[in-house]
Structure 1
Amino acid sequence: MTTLTDKVAIVTGGASGIGRATALLFARQGAAVVVADLDAPGAAKVVGEIEAEGGRAVAVRTDVASEADCERAVRTAVETFGGLHVLFNNAGIIRRTTALDITADEWDRVMAVNVRSVFLMCKHAIPAMKDGGSIVNTGSGWGLKGGGNAISYCASKAAVVNMTRALAIDHAKAGIRVNSVNPGDTDTPMLREEARQLSEDWAAFAADAADRPMGRAGSPDEIAQAVLFLASDAASYVTGAALVVDGGGLA
């Protein structure tokens, strides 16, 4: 039921971390994948990995805060592979600051990459999903509860979670399901960037990230499996849901 044979998928933020793991998994499950990322060489590298395994993929340099770039990513999927069935809105950034420390420009950039991008990608992807489809948006545990020194990130991910619900309501009759996956701390380049921004030793930061019932941070591959479930027919009656994948941290 989790096969994506003959499906076409777009993965934003597909050059690294959860996006890369999901792009590879989608391809292994039969999907043709558009790897969309601002990091064009990184996206091309992921395409190379997919093709080396016999899959189909194309890279598109995409600034997800740009409407023209979002429209181009969707157009590339349709023109290259003949349609669009799955959209994984995964691109995101974090700024570890309080309201007193963040600048207005930094706030706007977090909102542009984390929230505006989801709106723009959905705006252009939904009309291309002629036979229905599945949209998965990356939220966060901090989109469901608060966190320290991360005001813009918490606000942006809360917006993603509730925008997901609104999209699910609006487009269910078109056969389009919309859900959010909400990871806890996951061993990705972004997690290491958080430690750098906070000027914390990585070993100590990683130990704190592992402070949850399962005693460890997640892996990108584990989050990708949850995304695959939501994207696939295995989740055919799931829409508007906020799936938490965090080793029990939110619990």
Structure 2
Amino acid sequence: MDVTVQSSYDDVIESAVKVYPSSLHSFSVKNTADEVLANATAELTGNEALLTQLNIVTSYSADASGEFTVLLPDTNALPAGASYTMNVAASGYNSEDLTLNSDNATHNLVLTEVANGITLIGAITVGGSQNLLDEPPVVTLDYADGSSDVISVSVTSATQASFSQEIDLNEKSLQLLSISQAESVTIELDVSNVMQTQTIDIFLLNNASVVITTEIDTPVDTTDGASSGGGSLAWFSLFLLVLLRLGSPLIKNGDERK
């Protein structure tokens, strides 16, 4: 519904306001023992342009009863097929992805415990004029079964951000970790051989329209001084630094390689 606000005052401009009917979604999060998960969190995605336009909060935390609510524009008033997606997670449990529409507004979730869990921890730093506050990085984790998760990223300053993602290797096999940012080179890391918690320090260079793929535990040398495409890239030299801080069980192996 469009509403036009008019005024008889010369210094007030009339404005058109779009109003959407809303739908209140309620969530309850428990584990398989029927215990509430008060540490559950949720990230809302899908229809990002509309969520941003309406300034809708996209991050939520459960209360002491493992419950929270989200007020969203009614999908019945949006174009056909419109929906939202939400990832619900809790420390020590496998996360769950939901598709939200106004046909079902009550969501009772049961999260299963992580049986063979690892954590991917990332620290992102930029090396140029990029501004992570204006253009936050997007981190995507692809699995061998073709599915993927968009990992929540915490931006702490214009030049620094971080992420942490728990994965149950009994449920998913890791494939590829991608880090992209509008003003930076996209980085893709092969994580198919990662079998334990690992910390990755990622340095983003200014965008040069180049995508680099490398194994996460392989020394990275991306200096490109050769000509390509008839010499169109002969001028370009790219240095990518990806520093890996391995968990303590791998430190000895790292020393032996030295």
TM-score normalised by L of structure 1: 0.25
Higher strand share: 2
Structure showing greater relative contact order (alpha-carbon pairs closer than 8 Å, 6 or more residues apart): 1
Larger Rg: 2
